[in-house]
């Protein structure tokens, strides 16, 4: 304590004055004051960040620096009525030197704070702060400081796109609030802490950072063990102390994945756990095999989900055409399986990489990009036009988007499988949720294998048809009926394109929808001329002219489809339910107040979600039952990327949606099936009433 007091006084005395600016470069640290809002709105709250980047080999300190060091300090000069909260710190690391334990950041870190703007504010909002901190290496500590001045115009509260990545990363690095209660127990000179945690078998390392000095000895080694549903940390207690609470942050490592849990433990009984090292490696593989089995089963059932129906029509037509040669059937089955497994594996690699980077990702993350939605809309339109007979696919048109998927033979089967897997991502069928959630926390190689198993399950029906003659004999024989069947299959493709157009408008706004429909019109005209050319009814000049026009306008249209949400509001869900938007803070308050809450997550690209919303969730009986039972409805819209939702799903062990949770007034949490019924929902109301 004396060391830390001396360092704090030294920082205030030795840190010289600096020119006021929004950023400063000191000898050992670069600092910058950044704002999430480009133009804060009157009467609202917005978030700012203090971005600190120490020089390689140097470090700054957490809010409780440990045995030595100093937390970063801010003295604000603010206009009347403006207030700034205390900093929120990311999860720190340990640093031991000369027997002293320090809690530090050795790389760029962002401290977050909330600024409240008074009603009636206008003009400019100047935020001035004197920032003092301590930066150290393994030999010396140097106090540094800067006067930072960030002036923002008062406006509509719109976010600054240039700072989105910084604030997403900063929030991802913050510890999450622990929903369940932690407990601690003092036995002699030792203190034991029990922290509830899902999937403790996958944890490879953990460390508890105490927020106060009266609980644990910072430099004392910590031993970590686990029970079936918690982690147990044991270390030396501060001699003579008798804490009534033990607040802090638990840093949890699962291989390269790091997360933090913030809580305040209360006195209680702590169970005995199995040492972490005793299960090193074995726990991950124990979780791998069930996850792989669930992924294969989930992929198999995914064939019954509505997301996959339109694309399966491609394979249905291909199977109707083939069936004469056993070798041909096997080749198509293997090619289709290869296409499916390649795409699910690549998507899995991308999801695991994004999650490991702290950005938050899950199954169907690519459909949160409007440019991907536009591509799929045009592709399904082209396939539908091909099925309807507007043009034909041959060697001369193999470069058309739909050609690869609708070509006969193994090549067409491969790309049909790839397309089926890509478009299947809006669905998270039964058994998939736990499997894909586990895949994101398993070691990377095991996680990729789980995603590959999902692809194998999705492809199993067609793989079986290719290798089991008895199944092929049940297929209808090729004949003249196939021409009409092909035209019928164009209908689900057109419906899919229409649905994707609606999603595009919801994601990126009216301008993006207009751009997409314009591209669809150009594509239709091009394919129409292509069909006429195939019938010798159009000149080469017309075809080349339209193709050149499409090539020129497509990049412009794609650039117009911005990934920014354009200020669009989230879908509030069925009107009668009066749902409020989901935030981690809102659901935590509901739990603390014991308010019964029905929480669900949705997205415009999630067909299962929309079926439930237009069906059971919109039934008047459900709204009446919820109102009578006092059940609050909360909705999280994941149409566009939302790190808070991604982290919440990961904490629940889920990698996709839909997800339906009921928080009862007695504190219990029930996960509902993905296909909702009126009976299931009204049953929740009955349970909530009886519990209260």
Taking only the tens place, the pLDDT of each residue in 510-519 is 777 888 888 8
Residue 396: pLDDT band (50, 70, 90) is: very low
Report whether pLDDT(685) > 80.
no
Strand, coil or helix: what is 581? Answer: strand
* pLDDT of 403: 45
Residue range 183-279, CATH number: 2.60.40
Pairing of strands 597-602, 632-637: parallel
pLDDT over 90 percentage in the chain? 30
455 phi and psi, to 5 degrees? -65, -40
Asked if 2-173 and 183-279 have one fold, the answer is yes
Instruction: Give every CB contact of residue 545 below 8 A, 6+ residues apart in sequence.
Output: none
Highest mean pLDDT among 11-20, 52-61, 500-509: 52-61
Q: What DSSP element (H or E) covers 625?
A: helix 620-629
Residue 427 has pLDDT above 80, yes or no: no
- Given a cut of 50, whether residue 106 has pLDDT beyond it is yes
Classify 669 as helix, strand or coil. strand
Could you tell me which residues are beta bridge partners of residue 236?
190
- pLDDT beyond 50 at 360: no
Provide the whole-model pTM: 0.47
Within its chain, how far is the Cα of 358 from the centroid? Answer: 9
Instruction: Please tell me which of 18-27, 415-424, 677-686 the model is most confident about, judged by mean pLDDT.
Output: 677-686
User: Contact at 8 Å (CB) between 418 and 343?
Assistant: yes
Q: Report the range out of 67-81, 308-322, 468-482, 563-577 with the highest average pLDDT.
A: 67-81
Give the per-residue pLDDT at 56: 92
CATH superfamily ID and name for 575-691:
Glutaredoxin (3.40.30.10)
Domain boundaries, the chain: 2-173, 183-279, 283-560, 575-691
| Helices 326-356/444-467 angle, 10° precision | 160
Question: What's the confidence (pLDDT) of residue 64?
Answer: 95
CA distance 595 to 51: 37
Predicted confidence at residue 1, as pLDDT, reads 47
Q: Under a CB-based contact definition with an 8 Å cutoff, are residues 622 and 616 in contact?
A: yes
For residue 578, CA distances in Å to 598, 600, 634, 671 come to 12, 13, 9, 21
pLDDT in tens, 240-285: 888 999 999 999 988 777 889 999 999 998 988 887 754 444 444 5
pLDDT of residue 85: 94
User: Per-residue confidence at 408, pLDDT binned at 50, 70, 90?
Assistant: low
d(CA 206, CA 216): 15
Check residue 545 and give its pLDDT.
64
Does residue 199 or residue 314 have the better pLDDT?
A: 199
Percent with pLDDT over 70 in the chain: 75
pLDDT tens figures, 571-604: 566 778 889 999 888 887 887 778 899 999 988 7
What average pLDDT does the segment 472-489 reach? Answer: 71
Residue 60 is predicted with a pLDDT of: 96
- Per residue in 126-155, pLDDT (tens digit) is 999 999 999 998 888 899 999 999 999 999
Phi-psi region of 43 (alpha: psi -120 to 50; beta: other; left: phi over 0): left
Give CA–CA dist 163/158, Å, rounded.
12
Q: Looking at the domain covering 2-173, what would its CATH class be?
A: mainly beta
Dihedral sign, CA of 612, 616, 619, 624?
negative
Highest mean pLDDT among 78-87, 354-363, 661-670: 78-87
């Amino acid at each position: 304590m004396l060391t830390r007091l001396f360092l704090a006084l030294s920082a205030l005395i030795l840190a010289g004055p600096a020119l006021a600016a929004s950023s400063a470069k000191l000898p050992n640290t670069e600092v910058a004051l950044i704002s999430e809002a480009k133009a804060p709105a009157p009467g609202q709250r917005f978030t700012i960040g203090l971005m600190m980047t120490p020089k390689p080999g140097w470090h700054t300190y957490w809010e409780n620096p440990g045995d030595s060091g100093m937390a970063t300090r801010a003295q604000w000069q603010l206009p009347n009525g403006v207030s700034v909260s205390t900093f929120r710190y990311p999860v720190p690391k340990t640093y031991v030197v000369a027997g002293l334990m320090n809690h530090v950041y050795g790389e760029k870190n962002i401290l977050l704070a909330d600024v409240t703007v008074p009603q009636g504010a206008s003009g400019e909002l100047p935020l001035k702060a004197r920032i003092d901190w301590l930066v150290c290496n393994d030999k010396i500590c140097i106090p540094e400081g800067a006067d930072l001045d960030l002036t923002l115009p008062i406006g509509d509260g719109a976010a600054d796109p240039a700072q989105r990545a910084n604030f997403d990363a900063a929030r991802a690095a913050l510890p999450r609030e622990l929903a369940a209660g932690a407990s601690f127990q003092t036995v002699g000179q030792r203190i034991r802490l029990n922290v509830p945690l899902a999937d403790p078998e996958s944890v490879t390392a953990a460390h508890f950072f105490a927020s106060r000095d009266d609980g644990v000895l910072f430099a004392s080694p910590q031993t970590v063990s686990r029970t079936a549903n918690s982690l147990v940390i044991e270390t030396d207690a501060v001699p003579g102390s008798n804490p009534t609470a033990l607040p802090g942050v638990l840093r949890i490592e699962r291989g390269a994945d790091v997360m933090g849990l913030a809580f305040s433990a209360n006195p209680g009984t702590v169970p005995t756990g199995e040492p972490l090292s005793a299960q090193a490696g074995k726990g991950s593989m124990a979780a791998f095999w069930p996850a792989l089995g669930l992924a294969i089963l989930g992929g198999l059932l995914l064939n019954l989900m509505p997301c996959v129906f339109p694309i399966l029509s491609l394979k249905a037509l291909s199977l109707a055409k083939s069936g004469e040669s056993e070798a041909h059937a096997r080749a198509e089955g293997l090619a289709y399986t290869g296409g499916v497994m390649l795409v699910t594996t690549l998507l899995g690699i991308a999801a695991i990489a994004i999650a490991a980077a702290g950005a938050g990702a899950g199954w169907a993350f690519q459909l949160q990009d409007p440019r991907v939605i536009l591509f799929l809309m045009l592709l399904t339109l082209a396939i539908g036009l091909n099925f309807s007979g507007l043009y034909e696919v041959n060697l001369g048109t193999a470069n058309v988007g739909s050609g690869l998927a609708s070509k006969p033979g193994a090549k067409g089967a491969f790309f049909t499988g790839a397309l089926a897997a890509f478009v299947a991502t809006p669905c998270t069928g039964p058994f998939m949720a736990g499997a894909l959630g586990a895949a994101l926390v398993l070691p990377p190689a095991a996680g990729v294998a789980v995603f590959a198993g999902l692809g194998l399950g999705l492809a199993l029906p067609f793989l079986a048809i290719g290798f089991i003659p008895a199944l092929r004999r049940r297929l209808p024989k090729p004949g003249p009926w196939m021409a009409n069947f092909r035209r019928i299959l164009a209908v689900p493709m057109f419906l899919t394109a229409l649905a994707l157009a609606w999603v595009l408008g919801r994601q990126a706004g009216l301008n993006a929808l207009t751009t997409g429909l314009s591209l669809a019109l150009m594509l239709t005209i091009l394919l129409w001329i292509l069909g006429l050319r195939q019938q010798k009814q159009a000149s080469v000049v017309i075809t080349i002219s339209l193709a050149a026009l499409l090539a020129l306008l497509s990049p412009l249209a794609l650039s117009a489809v911005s990934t920014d949400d354009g200020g669009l509001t989230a879908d509030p869900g069925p009107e009668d339910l009066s749902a409020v938007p989901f935030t981690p803070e809102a659901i935590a308050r509901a739990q603390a107040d014991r308010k019964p809450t029905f929480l669900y997550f949705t997205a415009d690209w999630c067909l299962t979600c929309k079926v439930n919303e237009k069906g059971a969730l919109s039934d008047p009986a459900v709204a009446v039952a919820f109102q009578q039972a006092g059940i609050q409805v909360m909705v999280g819209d994941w149409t566009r990327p939302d790190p808070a939702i991604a982290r919440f799903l990961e904490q629940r062990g889920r990698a996709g949606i839909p997800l339906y949770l009921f928080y009862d007034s007695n504190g219990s949490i029930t996960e509902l099936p993905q296909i909702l019924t009126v009976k299931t929902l009204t049953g929740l109301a009955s349970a909530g009433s009886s519990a209260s």
